[in-house]
Structure 1
């Protein structure tokens, strides 16, 4: 509000109302909120005058709201309290200006306050008696009522408002219904969410949208009712013409994958194809993760190829998941093949890629190949962690590569890691047979690191 219009409003109020009311208007809407309140009640202001002020077009609505709130917060200064009619009058005024947040704040006392609230039927009666507003403003009022009840956990009252609006042909905003469903989901009221959606569908009103459908599908999936969710998507498409989108399907895909329900997943994917809904990047990631965790590695690999065909960005961790899956089955050749494919398709390996490769090769007894990848890992300046060092040193020892195992242990110590006592003892036992000095040096280093091998005494160490 400009200073000029502010002064004009005050000038109008000063000419129309007693000075005490003009002063109260000025103080109650002070930017600094420093109220110069009189110590005795204001006799100049009564309920009738307040109503006249609140409906006065020459006084800005924000000043009316400030005055109204000031009266509510300072009841001892006034000989009256605003009644329901006054609340509603100001609420309709701000709704006509599309100030929805103000309207909801004004409705809270009469809708949910423990002392001031009125039953919904009483509020309706007052609206009918007093309202001379446009039909669209009346619609805004009841939609605001629904949201006030919903935001404050008065869920049975939401149904009451919905039924009234339906029966009296008051326009129900589909966004209001969707927000209410989200509130129910947030409060873990899954049964109520299903019931309210059924009420929306059965009402015959055009309030069901893909957004409200998606919320309910998510609710059903959270309860494990995947089949019911899929059937609902099909039903809404046929009966209401509401087509599910990728967000709707992702809820079902995620639920199927999490529960390893691949039979239902197949039905969901077929429905997607029927509805011409394409998988997006996130959907592919969820599917690949699910397939690899269950052991359906070939299906996961097929999806990665589809991603490449569709020019979607394939991240290295997706390859890592598939390579790890093949590694669990001992198919190290497939692991190497996928590593080569990564490079040819421009997907950069990361540290985890090398770990999957080395671990798989070690399990297959191909320790030399694993050590070559260790060198590549170092060339690419990836950090080698303790688990990598331990695995490589133990596997080198297991296949008789004592010198290589010793090299790995020495490098491990240089990087600040303490090798396991077992591998050090085994290395020392082997090395003492051919080179006692080198073995004793190894044991000494390990002891200085805080580990005391079991066979320490036989090496002359305390």
Structure 2
């Protein structure tokens, strides 16, 4: 009994004095601990003495006083604090955090997930299973719980999400179990599974899955065969695809798509002879080459370095009665971009417009990206404006791909033009694009624009993390707004972030150089506290625990022995484990 109580007291002493001081006065704490220790030691000397439960509870009440009149208020405060801290976590992080606690049994996991009261949707389910480090069993358990919730429908579209996530993480056993347990699978489910095997270089298993497609309710025909070839060629297993292509001649009827997939596969490798061989078989099979065939052929010649031959094929297309479409022009533009002949690529783009061939998103994607990487910024911005004027809105990832190279050289003006026009066109900007802009603006000291972009980032629903706060602090330091930089850093620490040592050192040195010693010292104390808490969080994350806002110790009585268990003492970000 005495040993257990000493361990409990020792654990309480490990908690920082600054937190204890907010609960009880130091004098009362020391007096009560000494009183309890002496009484417990005297009681242990008599073998017939039984510890009175009311006495122990009274001593604990003096140690951690809680007024009965304000109990409800304090509980409400604790609840508010807990909700406030929990609000910093996204729904996906809260759902994944359940599995970090390792509940025993599926029913316990389902109960813990339901207790979070998250407005579930298929997008949240996709974010949970696509990121993090959940095991295959945990992913399947979570998905089985999710499809029973009202926000997620139990249809084939939901199964696409879990199959793709399991295949990406190479949990093939669980992926196949889900595929077999589905009520009705379709060709897309089978394609996701075959593509997962091909991505992991399990070519034989992908082919075997195609041959067993009838067991999953999918016909083993031309369409499923084309899907298999497409998966293999997309993952650069063109030789294996060619072997299956030759083996299935006569067994499965081929169509023009079958031949085009094989031509496209060899095109990516620049194998001109193999492309011509498949093209010859295509003609012998009664299928004439179409624009897609010519686009693959032109692209393959460009990869092989035979630009002049690709130009000849492009010029001969009209004589063969095949008018070039956007895919053919895209192949020509791509060839000249690879050859770093940007003027010629722009010329083919202008020729495309003169021939009244409407460019698509891929046209502008290749052209603008090539010009930006080639540092032809003026031409890139001109083409970009033409794209928006035609009503073609870039995707979120495409805007990020435009901004990323522009933020690696020169001032941030061009990147801001891309950002502002895309935002005006209604395109959603990614969080990574915002961070790239903030970093570049911070480096050039454009603090006015920096703060505006930061506000727009928050309006889009992105929360600020430690990187964002570091960029803001750096930008404010660069223009000498040290007081504002300190305020931003204090806000970051209040949210549980600890800026890195380089950012803090730069700000601290500038404060000292400006004779603001008192401000620098107060910042030092706060950053020291934040680092202690950050180190504690890192420690418990490494040991499989999640961040806790309230740490407590609860001591219960079992007969005449003290049996300490885990409970709560309002000490932020710390765990006190009493053995």
TM-score for both structures, normalised by structure 1:
0.50
Equivalent position of 2:383 in the other structure: 303
C-alpha distance in 2, partners of 1:345/1:220? 37
Alignment of 1:91-102 (within 5 A): none
2:275 aligned residue: 193
Q: 1:227 to 1:369 in 2, by over 3 A?
A: same
Which of 368, 371, 375 is matched with 2:451 structurally? 371
Aligned to 2:441: 361
Give the C-alpha shift of residue 279 in structure 1: 0.9
Partner Cα distance (2:278, 2:317) in 1? 15
Shift of 1:263: 4.0
What does residue 212 of structure 1 align with?
Answer: 293
- The answer to whether structure 1 residue 284 and structure 2 residue 331 are counterparts is no
Q: Does 1:448 align with 2:532?
A: yes
Please point out which of 481, 490, 515 is paired with 1:410.
490
Unaligned 5+ segments in structure 1 are: 1-99, 103-148, 162-171, 452-462
Conserved? CA contact 2:270–2:303, under 8 Å: no
SS at match of 1:279: coil
Q: Deviations over 1:59-112 (max 9, x none)?
A: xxxxxxxxxxxxxxxxxxxxxxxxxxxxxxxxxxxxxxxxx969xxxxxxxxxx
Residue among 421, 429, 438 paired with 2:501:
421
**Cα distance change of structure 1 residues 354 and 200 upon mapping to structure 2, 3 Å threshold:** closer
Would the alpha carbon gap of residues 208 and 353 (structure 1) be closer, same or farther in structure 2, given more than 3 Å must change?
closer
Flag structure 2 segments of 5+ consecutive residues without an equivalent: 1-219, 223-240, 536-579
- Structure 2 distance, partners of 1:366, 1:386, is 20
Q: 1:232 to 1:425 in 2, by over 3 A?
A: same
- Report the equivalent of 1:386: 466
Matched, 1:227 2:308: yes
Could you tell me which residue of structure 2 aligns to residue 262 of structure 1?
Answer: 342
Could you tell me which of 504, 518, 521 is aligned with 1:434? 518
Shift of 1:173: 8.5
2:317 counterpart SS class: helix
Distance 1:152 1:341 in 2: 48
The alpha-carbon distance between structure 1 residues 440 and 390, as it changes in their structure 2 partners (threshold 3 A), is: closer
The secondary structure found in structure 1 opposite 2:359 is: coil
Q: Contact 1:389–1:409 at 8 Å: present in 2 too?
A: yes
Give the aligned length: 291
* C-alpha spacing 1:418/1:198, structure 2 compared with 1 (3 Å): same
2:518 match: secondary structure: coil
1:50-65 superposed matches below 5 A? none
- 1:396 and 1:404 in contact (8 A); partners too: yes
- Taking the aligned partners of 1:227 and 1:316, their CA distance within structure 2 comes to 35
Is residue 393–residue 422 contact of structure 2 (8 Å, CA) maintained in 1? no
1:376 is displaced (CA, Å) by: 4.0
CA distance in 1 between counterparts of 2:271 and 2:419 reads 48
Cα drift, residue 368 of structure 1 = 4.2
Single out whichever of 290-299 and 183-192 deviates more from structure 2.
183-192
Matched, 1:312 2:396: no
Q: Is the 8 A contact 2:441 2:450 kept in 1?
A: yes
Q: 1:242 to 1:416 in 2, by over 3 A?
A: same
- Cα distance change of structure 1 residues 309 and 213 upon mapping to structure 2, 3 Å threshold: same
**Structure with larger RCO (C-alpha < 8 A, sep 6+):** 2
For residues 413 and 256 of structure 1, do their structure 2 counterparts lie closer, same or farther at Cα, with a shift above 3 Å needed? Answer: farther
Residues 333 and 367 in structure 2, CA contact (< 8 A), matched pair in contact too: yes
Tell me by how many angstroms 1:391 deviates. Answer: 2.2
Identify if the C-alpha distance between structure 1 residues 225 and 276 changes in structure 2 by more than 3 Å, giving closer, same or farther. farther
Cα distance between partner residues in 1 of 2:353 and 2:299:
20
Closer/same/farther in 2, CA of residues 224 and 188 from structure 1, 3 Å limit: closer
309 and 421 in structure 1: CA distance in 2 versus 1, 3 angstrom threshold: closer
- 3-state SS of the aligned residue for 1:434? helix
Larger radius of gyration: 1
Q: What does the per-residue CA deviation read over 1:389-446, in whole Å, with 9 as the maximum and x for residues that have no partner?
A: 2222223223322222222322333444331113323444536723465134134225
* CA positional deviation for 1:449: 4.6
Distance 2:376 2:364 in 1: 14
Report deviation, 1:290: 1.9
Contact 1:304 1:314 in 2 (8 A): no
Check the 8 A contact 2:364/2:383 in 1, yes or no: yes
